[in-house]
Structure formats: structure tokens, C-alpha cells
């Protein structure tokens, strides 16, 4: 029921290996253990699968092997001697232990003295995604991977197979006719002249068990590619692009090649973090999920620190303030699980300061409750102070939302929390004054920031921390700054949203009554005199341009009786008149009558300004009635 460790003798001429075929048989034990070249593998034939399916294993005759005792049932096998007919020299089991030791020493030297975090070694043969697997490697690649994998295991390095994509873009060799079209070359035969840009990325990761790893795409520097002579051959794909504008004929090439990728295990976090938070955060979540006690996970803290150190803020031109930054929210969520105040402080100062959306306040409040408001106060103050209008990534509304959530989220209002929140609101008000005094010189670089919703948020926050003095200061600032705190778009919506939410016993009641009365007074002034109906067609508009056509347009505008005027002028003069009418806000339509030459621009005066003022008067009258009812309720 067992075999002691032994090597098979050559039972027939040319025998080089033994094949064991395990027939379906119910049993326990009887594992085959094969040892060779300082490696041992155990093949289990028992278990549920062994009772119903065929299994097999093969090993060279010079491999020591044994059969462990069968503890129950029957183990039924067919044993075959393997030989290659017609060959005098039969294959033998490779002995790589010496090469493994030498390779381990070289790898240690490479990562100790060199500038590498990771290295990639090209495979000799070509592989597709379907063929890139340890079990399907060809020729010398199998030995190469075997040696490197054993050396990596010895050194506690991580080793994977991956597909390397080398992309190049550049100009085509001079072989096209006048006009920028290639003529005598076929797209597949085109040769690149000068390379303008190139990059290398790794993807489709496979571990030594043949399992795919979700590392995504990873960049590779050219100096990290070793033994590059194996990285050659024809491109997998290339495209030639015709000339456009000032750019001549260009082409792109893509080379795909299988590589072996190694790195020391302790650099794994740094390597993933260097690819950016979008690539690294899923791995951090997976790591923390695997920890029985995340708060005591040293690996989790190390990885989180590497991600923060390499946090990449969004480019200011592409920031979308939709209420959240998915990466910042995810990072705060994982930091809450790690419960490390130093990491939270570092992330607020170095990561979130340039990458936030406004919804992070609830998580920050939970972190303050967990770690203590005082422990995060300095970092939060730094974050708020950095959100100045000259910083392209800053958003006043999102910053106000974060501070408001910190002040009024559902948790006990301790003295420590109230004190820290007062400090944060004080810093916020200083930042708001900078925003309200700022004159934007490059409005195309950021979305216009209104003050809509800000009054409501600050009222809730300041009422929650019982700071009537700060509330009074803010309201005074808002009421004396109608340019930013518009009556119709900011103040009245704030009253209608928040008036009934303020508790009569709250310290914010008096301030809210003051805001309501201010809105009533302003609406009363706007509606005490009806909008006068125009008695003629004259428009009091000063045309700033002084050409002949503009002087004629000016006379038409001032004429109290003329409603229609016709400019029969050439196209460029008509276009000039179109621009002047639109830019000066003239109440008139201006349509080209496409008859004759030159054609005629027909200008017809309207009552558009009067109609707008009348509609606004009616709206203001209705709003005044609504607010008076609120005040009397």
C-alpha cells in the first residue's frame, strides 16, 4: 500500500520517464511525491474527483519518488514506461539548481545596486493571450521561467508573465507624392523614419499557477527591459495616417511580446501606487478585506502611505464637480478601516487638498468622531486655507459642503468638536472673502462658481455649532455683496429652503428672520412702481463703434417712430452689424433678406426688454406675497 523513496531503473532500452495513470477508484492517501534538483512536488489522486475521473502524472526516471500509504479503499493505476524510439540519447530531467542560485545572486545585486523597482525579461518565442501560460511555454522559455521562478521564490520576489505592448508614433520615410498622400508604399510595407513618441505598457498578467491577475495596465520604462535583443520582430499592427493641416504623413506601430516580470515583494505596494490611485485602490481594498483586523494591518498602512505619496490630482481643465471624487471617497473609506490618524492627516494635506468633490464631509466627520477632532484639526484647516480662487482645482461650493457636513453630521456635539468646527468655519469665511473679492482673469479655465446653496449650508452648519456671532458676520457679508449673493438666485432660495427648518429655540432664528425681512424689503422696492409701458420705439443705447454703418444704426435706435430699417450692404458689413446689435443688447431682430446684390439686412425693433422687466415684475410680486405669508405664519 506504499512505496518508499526510490528511483526507477531502466526497465526497457531507451526508457527516460514513467507515466502513472490513476483509474477512477475510491480511496484515501496514496499521494505521489516526486523530488528532484532541490524541489519536491506532491500529486494527490484521492478525494471526490479521484473516484470518478481519470488522472495522470509523469516524471523522469532520475527523479526520486515515493507513494505515501493508502489509508482506505483501493488505489488502481496503470504504469507505463516512456521511451523515444530511434534516439540514442534520451531526455533527462533538467538540473537547474546551480543556475537558480547564480540567478538569485544576480537578481539580488540588480535590485540592490540598480535603479530598478521592477524588471521585464522578454521571452524568446511569441505568445498570444491564449498561449501565455506557464504550462504552454515553448523551448528555452520553459527553462528560463523555471529558473527565474525558483530564484524568485528563494528571494521572496514576485514573478508574473505579462504581455508587453510597445507603441511608437512617428513620420513615414520619404515616399509619398506631392500633396501629402503616400503613393508607392503599401500601409503594411511602410517604414518609420523618425520616432516622435513611444511608450511601453504591461497587461494580461499571469501568475505561476496560470491564474490571471487584475493588475490592469502598468507602464514600463525602457531601462527596465532587460535582454532587449529578444524583443524584436515585425510589428503586430501598424497604421499610416494621411497628412492633415501642417502635419505630414504619420504612422503608428504596435509590438506585442511576452515577458517575465519580477520585483521584490516589499516593493509591490510602491509599484502599484506608482501607477496612480485608480489602479492601486482596488488592490488596497482587497488587501484590507483579507485582514482579520484591518486596524492592526501594517501592510495596509504601508500600502496606503505609498498611494498617498503618489496621489495624482485631476487636471484642473477636466475636474467635474458632481458632488464626489470617487478616488478620494474610497481612500477615506479605507483609511477609516485602518484607523490611523497620521495617514488621514497626510491624505488631507497631500491628496484630498487637490482632489475632492464636496461629499467627503460625512466621511471626514466620521473620521473625526473615530480619531478625535483635535487630531485632524490642523490638516483640515490647511485644506480649507488652500482652496483659494487662484487655485484652479479649488471649488468654493464643494469646500462649503465639506465644512457644513463636518459641523452638522449626526454625532454628539462635544466641546472639542464645537471648538474645532468654529476654527474651520472661521478659516472658511476668510477664504470666502477672497473668492468674493477675486476678479477672474481666465474664466475659460474653470467653471463659473455661483453662490447658490452656500447660504443654506452655512446656516445649518453655524446653527449646529451654536455660533450666532459667525452667523451674523456671514449674513452681513452676504447682504452687502449683491454681486455674488444675488437676491433671486441665492438669497430667496435660501429663505424658502431653510426658514421652516430653523428651530424657534435655535440661535439661528433671529438671523433667519433678518434674512427674510431683507428679501421682503428688496422685493417691495422692486415692485412698488409698475414697469412703465413704452410710448415710442426709441432705445437708449450707445453704440461704441463709430463707422458709417454704426452711426446709421445709432440714428435708427434713437428714432422714436421708426420700427424697421433696411441696410443694403455687402456681406462683411452685414456681419459687422450683426455683431454690434448682439453685443450691445439691442431690442431688435436682424435678418438678411436674400434678394438682389448686395443683399439687405432687415432690422425690426421689439419690446423684448420691456417684456422681460414685466415678467420679472410679476414674478417679484408673487414672491413678495409668498415671503410675507411666511413672515406672518
- Of 359, 288, 269, 350, the C-alpha closest to 321 is 359
Tens of pLDDT, residues 409-441 = 889 999 999 999 999 999 999 999 999 999 877
557: Cβ contacts below 8 Å, ≥ 6 apart: 538, 539, 541, 543, 586
Tens of pLDDT, residues 280-306 = 898 899 899 999 999 999 999 999 999
Is 237 within 8 Å of 91 (Cβ atoms)?
Answer: no
The residue behind cell 438669497 is 491
Is 235 within 8 Å of 254 (Cβ atoms)?
Answer: yes
Tens of pLDDT, residues 337-349 = 999 999 999 999 9
Q: What is the dihedral sign for C-alpha 422, 423, 429, 432?
A: negative
SS3 247: strand
**Residue 130 Cα to chain centre, angstroms:** 29
SS3 570: coil
pLDDT at 235: 73
Provide the pLDDT confidence category of residue 506 given band limits of 50, 70 and 90.
low
Whether omega for the bond prior to residue 598 falls within 30 degrees of 0, making it cis, is yes
pLDDT surpasses 70 at 245: no
pLDDT at 442: 72
Provide the pLDDT confidence category of residue 230 given band limits of 50, 70 and 90.
low
Run of H or E including 497: helix 492-498
Run of H or E including 510: helix 509-527
Which residues are paired to 80 by β-bridges? 19
pLDDT surpasses 60 at 324: no
pLDDT surpasses 60 at 248: yes
Is 620 within 8 Å of 527 (Cβ atoms)?
Answer: yes
CA distance 513 to 461: 17
H helices, E strands: number in the chain: 19, 21
Indicate the burial class of 321 (C-beta count within 10 angstroms; 0-12, 13-18, 19 or more). Answer: middle
Is 275 within 8 Å of 308 (Cβ atoms)?
Answer: no
pLDDT at 177: 43
Is 61 within 8 Å of 10 (Cβ atoms)?
Answer: yes
List strands edge to edge, sheet with 32-36: 3-6, 64-67, 32-36, 39-43
CA distance 609 to 387: 39
User: How much of the chain is in helix, strand and coil states, percent to nearest 5?
Assistant: 45, 20, 35
Find the mean pLDDT for residues 249-253: 83
Return the higher-pLDDT residue of 532 and 243: 532
Provide the pLDDT confidence category of residue 448 given band limits of 50, 70 and 90.
confident
CA distance 484 to 501: 24
504: Cβ contacts below 8 Å, ≥ 6 apart: none
Find the mean pLDDT for residues 113-122: 89
Which residues are paired to 43 by β-bridges? 32
Class in CATH terms, 3-83: mainly beta
Which three three-digit cell numbers place residue 485? 449673493
pLDDT at 317: 45
pLDDT at 85: 77
Run of H or E including 257: strand 250-264
Tens of pLDDT, residues 507-517 = 668 888 999 99
* 90-127: b (≥16 Cβ within 10 Å) or e: beeeeebeebbeebbeebeeebeeeebebbbbbbeeeb
Return the higher-pLDDT residue of 16 and 563: 563
Provide the pLDDT confidence category of residue 115 given band limits of 50, 70 and 90.
confident
Is 541 within 8 Å of 564 (Cβ atoms)?
Answer: no
Integer CA distances (angstroms), 164 to 98, 121, 129, 571, 585, in order: 29, 10, 11, 58, 60
pLDDT at 152: 95
Tens of pLDDT, residues 393-407 = 899 999 999 999 999
- Of 4-8, 184-188, 484-488, 573-577, the range with the lowest mean pLDDT is 184-188
Find the mean pLDDT for residues 198-209: 92
SS3 429: helix
| Mean pLDDT across the chain | 88
pLDDT at 439: 85
Q: Where are the alpha helices (DSSP H) in 165-315?
A: 268-274, 277-289, 298-309
Integer CA distances (angstroms), 241 to 173, 181, 236, 247, in order: 13, 9, 17, 10
- Of 552, 491, 482, the C-alpha closest to 516 is 491
pLDDT at 178: 40
Per domain, the residue ranges of the chain are: 3-83, 97-269, 276-436, 450-534+608-633, 548-606
**Pairing mode, if any, of strands 157-172 and 192-206?**
antiparallel
Return the higher-pLDDT residue of 51 and 579: 579
CA distance 473 to 418: 18
- Of 450, 510, 423, 435, the C-alpha closest to 475 is 510
Provide the pLDDT confidence category of residue 7 given band limits of 50, 70 and 90.
confident
Instruction: Pick the most confident of 131-135, 180-184, 228-232, 526-530.
Output: 526-530
pLDDT at 446: 65
pLDDT at 179: 45
pLDDT at 242: 75
Please give the share of the chain, as a percent, with pLDDT higher than 70.
Answer: 91
CA distance 249 to 191: 12
Find the mean pLDDT for residues 261-287: 89
- The HSE-up count of residue 579 (CA atoms within 13 Å, CB side) is 9
Find the mean pLDDT for residues 366-385: 97
Please give the share of the chain, as a percent, with pLDDT higher than 90.
Answer: 59
User: What is the rounded end-to-end Cα distance, in angstroms, of the chain?
Assistant: 95
CA distance 354 to 313: 6
CA distance 551 to 553: 5
Find the mean pLDDT for residues 188-213: 86
CA distance 421 to 460: 13
Find the mean pLDDT for residues 61-88: 87
Provide the pLDDT confidence category of residue 176 given band limits of 50, 70 and 90.
very low
Provide the pLDDT confidence category of residue 320 given band limits of 50, 70 and 90.
very low
- CATH number 3.30.1370 is the correct assignment for the domain at 548-606: yes
Using CA atoms in the order 497, 428, 333, 323, what is the torsion angle rounded to 10 degrees? 50
Integer CA distances (angstroms), 376 to 347, 352, 371, 461, 521, in order: 11, 13, 8, 18, 43
Which residues are paired to 72 by β-bridges? 28
CA distance 260 to 145: 7
Provide the pLDDT confidence category of residue 315 given band limits of 50, 70 and 90.
low
Find the mean pLDDT for residues 204-219: 89
Provide the pLDDT confidence category of residue 114 given band limits of 50, 70 and 90.
confident
Return the higher-pLDDT residue of 87 and 569: 569
pLDDT at 421: 95
Whole-model pTM: value is: 0.71
Which three three-digit cell numbers place residue 558? 434713437
211: Cβ contacts below 8 Å, ≥ 6 apart: none
**Residue 575 Cα to chain centre, angstroms:** 45
pLDDT surpasses 50 at 318: no
- Of 177-191, 258-272, 309-323, 548-562, the range with the lowest mean pLDDT is 177-191
Provide the pLDDT confidence category of residue 326 given band limits of 50, 70 and 90.
confident
Find the mean pLDDT for residues 217-244: 78
Is 371 within 8 Å of 341 (Cβ atoms)?
Answer: yes
Amino acid at each position: 500500500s506504499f512505496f518508499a523513496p526510490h528511483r526507477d531503473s531502466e526497465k526497457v532500452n531507451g526508457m527516460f520517464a514513467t507515466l502513472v495513470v490513476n483509474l477512477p477508484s475510491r480511496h484515501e492517501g496514496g499521494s505521489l511525491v516526486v523530488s528532484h534538483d532541490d524541489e519536491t512536488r506532491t500529486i494527490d489522486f484521492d478525494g471526490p474527483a479521484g473516484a470518478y475521473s481519470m488522472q495522470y502524472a509523469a516524471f523522469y526516471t532520475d527523479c526520486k519518488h515515493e507513494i505515501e500509504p493508502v489509508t482506505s479503499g483501493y488505489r488502481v493505476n496503470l504504469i507505463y514506461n516512456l521511451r523515444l524510439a530511434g534516439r540514442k540519447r534520451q531526455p533527462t530531467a533538467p538540473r537547474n539548481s546551480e543556475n537558480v542560485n547564480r540567478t538569485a545572486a544576480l537578481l539580488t545585486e540588480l535590485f540592490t545596486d540598480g535603479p530598478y523597482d521592477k524588471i521585464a525579461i522578454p521571452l524568446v518565442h511569441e505568445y498570444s493571450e491564449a498561449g501565455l501560460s506557464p504550462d504552454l511555454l515553448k523551448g528555452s522559455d520553459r527553462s528560463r521561467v523555471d529558473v527565474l521562478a525558483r530564484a524568485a521564490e528563494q528571494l521572496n520576489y514576485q514573478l508574473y508573465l505579462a504581455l508587453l505592448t510597445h507603441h511608437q508614433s512617428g513620420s513615414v520615410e520619404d515616399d509619398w507624392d506631392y500633396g501629402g498622400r503616400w503613393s508607392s508604399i503599401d500601409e503594411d510595407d511602410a517604414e518609420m523614419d523618425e520616432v516622435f513618441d513611444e511608450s511601453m505598457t504591461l497587461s494580461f498578467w499571469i501568475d505561476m499557477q496560470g491564474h490571471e491577475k487584475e493588475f490592469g495596465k502598468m507602464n514600463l520604462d525602457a531601462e527596465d527591459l532587460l535582454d532587449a535583443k529578444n524583443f524584436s520582430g515585425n510589428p503586430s499592427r501598424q497604421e499610416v495616417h494621411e497628412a492633415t493641416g501642417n502635419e505630414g504623413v504619420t504612422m503608428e506601430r504596435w509590438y506585442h511580446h511576452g515577458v517575465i516580470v519580477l520585483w521584490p515583494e516589499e516593493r509591490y505596494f510602491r509599484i502599484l501606487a506608482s501607477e496612480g490611485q485608480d489602479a492601486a485602490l482596488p488592490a488596497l481594498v482587497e488587501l484590507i478585506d483579507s485582514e482579520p483586523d484591518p486596524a492592526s494591518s501594517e501592510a495596509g498602512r504601508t500600502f496606503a502611505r505609498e498611494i498617498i505619496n503618489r496621489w495624482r490630482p485631476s487636471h484642473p481643465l477636466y475636474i467635474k464637480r458632481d458632488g464626489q471624487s470617487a478616488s478620494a471617497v474610497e481612500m477615506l473609506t479605507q483609511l477609516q478601516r485602518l484607523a490611523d490618524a497620521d495617514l488621514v492627516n497626510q491624505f488631507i494635506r497631500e491628496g484630498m487638498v487637490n482632489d475632492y468633490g464636496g461629499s467627503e464631509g460625512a466621511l471626514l466627520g466620521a473620521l473625526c468622531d473615530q480619531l478625535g477632532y483635535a487630531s485632524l484639526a490642523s490638516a483640515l484647516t490647511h485644506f480649507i486655507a488652500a482652496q483659494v480662487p487662484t487655485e484652479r482645482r479649488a471649488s468654493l461650493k464643494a469646500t462649503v459642503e465639506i465644512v457644513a457636513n463636518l459641523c452638522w453630521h449626526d454625532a454628539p456635539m462635544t466641546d472639542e468638536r464645537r471648538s474645532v468646527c468654529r476654527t474651520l468655519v472661521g478659516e472658511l469665511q476668510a477664504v470666502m472673502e477672497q473668492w468674493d473679492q477675486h476678479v477672474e482673469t481666465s474664466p475659460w479655465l474653470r467653471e463659473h462658481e455661483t453662490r447658490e446653496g452656500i447660504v443654506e449650508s452655512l446656516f445649518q452648519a453655524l446653527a449646529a455649532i451654536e455660533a450666532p456671532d459667525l452667523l451674523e458676520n456671514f449674513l452681513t457679508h452676504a447682504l452687502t455683496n449683491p454681486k455674488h449673493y444675488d437676491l433671486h438666485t441665492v438669497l430667496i432660495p435660501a429663505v424658502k429652503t431653510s426658514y421652516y427648518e430653523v428651530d424657534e429655540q435655535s440661535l439661528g432664528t433671529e438671523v433667519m428672520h433678518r434674512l427674510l425681512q431683507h428679501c421682503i424689503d428688496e422685493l417691495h422696492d422692486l415692485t412698488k412702481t409698475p414697469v412703465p409701458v413704452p410710448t415710442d420705439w426709441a432705445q437708449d443705447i450707445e453704440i461704441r463703434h463709430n463707422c458709417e454703418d454704426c452711426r446709421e444704426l445709432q440714428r435708427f435706435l434713437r428714432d422714436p417712430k421708426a420700427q424697421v430699417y433696411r441696410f443694403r450692404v455687402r456681406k462683411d458689413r452685414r456681419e459687422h452689424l450683426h455683431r454690434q446689435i448682439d453685443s450691445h443688447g439691442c431690442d431688435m431682430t436682424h435678418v438678411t433678406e436674400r434678394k438682389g446684390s448686395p443683399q439687405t439686412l432687415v432690422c425690426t425693433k421689439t419690446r423684448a426688454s420691456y417684456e422681460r422687466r414685466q415678467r420679472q415684475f410679476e414674478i417679484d410680486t408673487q414672491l413678495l406675497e409668498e415671503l410675507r405669508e411666511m413672515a406672518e405664519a
